[in-house]
Chains A and B, each alone.
Chain A
Amino acid sequence: GAGVSQSPSNKVTEKGKDVELRCDPISGHTALYWYRQSLGQGLEFLIYFQGNSAPDKSGLPSDRFSAERTGGSVSTLTIQRTQQEDSAVYLCASSLAGQDEQFFGPGTRLTVL
């Protein structure tokens, strides 16, 4: 079946602009995660959605970052007033509730000029 998909695959934007990154999880997966991978860094947790529970936003680096998940499926990560330090690969993952394995998408490479 189809895996986790993300769009766009690449996004170049100017400093100060807002961007939206999309994630389509595997059908039936109730858990969805966003991570960020900056150059030379490991993967940094951003936000986690589980079913209808309130999301765990503890990893969001600033209030310029927000995410929503509509209908328990597709998720959008929004970065407002982008800064150059926001340049990174943004990864989405999903998993079945209560299961260990997270399945990752291909990522969106964001470049802020």
Chain B
Amino acid sequence: AQRVTQPEKLLSVFKGAPVELKCNYSYSGSPELFWYVQYSRQRLQLLLRHISRESIKGFTADLNKGETSFHLKKPFAQEEDSAMYYCALRTGRRALTFGSGTRLQVQP
């Protein structure tokens, strides 16, 4: 069965510091990976997907099939990046398998 692991429940950094939110997955086939974000008092929303290879709000994520990872990175964190981040995996069916989430706290 597929699984997504986000080892850190909380990541606290200072403004301007680099950020890396870790995500590892287990799936033997070719997965589709996503990062979703939930800001305070807002809905869960898509941040980025691996097939797009895009940078959103300065965040990037590269799928590493050898390490089965899809870590989310940003070179310089901003206070407005503080939120809950979820890594998600989709296989054959359309529904997503989510990790348990990492709370990012960017301090001034």
Please report A residues at the B interface, Cβ cutoff 8 Å.
Answer: 3, 31, 33, 35, 40-45, 48, 50, 56, 58-59, 91, 93, 95, 100-107
Given A100-B32, A101-B46, the answer on whether A48 and B101 have CB atoms closer than 8 Å is no
B25 at the interface (CB under 8 A from A): no
Please give me the residue from chain B that is nearest to A104 by CB atom. Answer: B44
Given A40-B100, A100-B32, A100-B49, the answer on whether A56 and B43 have CB atoms closer than 8 Å is no
B97 at the interface (CB under 8 A from A): yes
Given A33-B95, A59-B95, the answer on whether A41 and B46 have CB atoms closer than 8 Å is no
For B, the interface residue count at a CB cutoff of 8 angstroms equals 22
Given A3-B43, A56-B93, A91-B44, the answer on whether A42 and B49 have CB atoms closer than 8 Å is no
Contacts of A43 in B (CB 8 A): 44, 86, 88, 96, 98
- Interchain nearest-CB distance for A13 vs B (Å): 24
Which of A31, A35, A50, A102 has the largest count of B CB atoms less than 10 A from its CB? A102
Tell me whether B100 and A41 are in contact (CB under 8 A): yes
Tell me whether A42 and B4 are in contact (CB under 8 A): yes
Listed by A's residue number, 13 A-B pairs whose Cβ atoms lie within 8 Å are A33-B94, A35-B96, A40-B100, A42-B4, A42-B98, A48-B93, A48-B95, A59-B95, A93-B44, A100-B46, A101-B46, A103-B45, A104-B45
Tell me whether A42 and B94 are in contact (CB under 8 A): no
Contacts of B101 in A (CB 8 A): 42
Contact with A along B61-84 (1 / 0, CB 8 A): 000000000000000000000000
Give the contacting residue for A45; candidates B6, B96, B99, B100; CB below 8 A.
B96
